[in-house]
Amino acid sequence: MTVADEAPGGGRRYALLLAMGDSEYVREVHGGYFGVFVGAFGCDGDTWDSFRVYDGQYPAPGDLDGYDGFVITGSPSDAHGDDEPWILRLCEFVRTLHAMEKRVLGVCFGHQVLCRALGGRVGKSSSGWDLGVRMVNLVTLDELQRFEFLKDLQELPTSAPLIQIHQDEVLELPPGATVLAHSEKTGVEMFAVGDHVLGVQGHPEMDMGILHHIIDIFVETNTITVCILL
C-alpha cells in the first residue's frame, strides 16, 4: 500500500483521496491539505492515510475492507471535462466503493466526481463562479434522520454559511440520490445516495485564511471571468 501521510490512532480508519497538490501557504500553515481535512473531520483515536490519486496513488484492493470511510477532496481540475485518465480511474474507484457500500464523502470536486461516477451529470454553472461564503439551506431534521448515518442528529439549523469555490455544479442527480441542501445559486449543495455516499459542494474543511489565499491566486492568474462574489 502506498501511503503519502498517516495520522496514527486506535479508532476508526479513513482514507483521504487527494485530488490536488498543496500550495506553499497550505503547507506552511496547515501541513498540507492532509492537515486541513484531518483537522476538520478527524477525531481522537482515528487513523488517516492519504493517497495522491492525481498521481495514481490508491489503497490496495485488499485493504479497502479495513477502512471505515473515504474522503475525496476538491481539485482545480474539472470533474466533467476532458477524460483525464486519473479522473476516469477515480470514477471507477468510486463505483467500486459504492458496490461495497463503503462510506464516501466528496467535497467540491469530490462531490461532482461522486455524481459523475454514479450516473449523474456535472457541468459548468450558467452563472459562473461562486466564490465566498454563501448561506446553504438544509432540508428538515426529519428528512435527514431518515438516513442511517444521520439518525443521531438532535438539532439542526435551517441554513448555514459555507465557503464556496466552484464554477462547476451537479446538473442531474445520480439514480437514487436525494438532495439534502440547496442555495440561491446552486440547486444541489449536498446530496446522498443510500446511507453511504454524501456529496457536499461547499468547503466545510476550509477556513477564511485558505479562502483569501485562493482568491489571491485567482486574481493573480486572471482565473475568474464571471463570478458571484459574496
Range in 14-23, 145-154, 214-223 with the lowest mean pLDDT: 145-154
Alpha-carbon distance values, 67 to 20, 50, 133, 214, 229 (Å): 22, 12, 32, 31, 38
For the whole model, what pTM was predicted?
A: 0.91
Q: Calculate what percentage of the chain has a pLDDT beyond 90.
A: 76
Is 91 catalytic? The answer is no
- pLDDT, tens digit (0-9, with 9 covering 90-100), for 68-99: 999 999 999 999 876 889 999 999 999 999 99
Known catalytic residue at 169: no
Options 30, 189, 196, 205, the catalytic residue: 205
Q: Are strands 129-138 and 159-166 parallel, antiparallel or unpaired?
A: antiparallel
At residue 104, φ and ψ (nearest 5 deg) are -135, 130
pLDDT tens figures, 36-59: 999 999 999 999 999 999 999 999
pLDDT confidence of 28, banded at 50, 70, 90? very high
- The pLDDT score that the predictor gives to residue 9 is 52
CA–CA separation, 194 vs 175, rounded Å? 10
pLDDT digits (tens, 9 = 90+) for 178-201: 999 999 999 999 999 999 999 999
- Of 80, 98, 108, 196, catalytic: 108
Q: Has residue 3 got a pLDDT over 60?
A: no
Q: Read off the pLDDT of residues 138-176 as tens digits, 9 standing for 90 and up.
A: 998 888 888 877 777 778 889 999 999 999 999 999 999
Residue 56 and residue 95: Cα distance in Å, rounded? 17
* Whole-angstrom distance, CA of residue 11 vs CA of residue 45: 5
Q: Has 205 been annotated as catalytic? A: yes
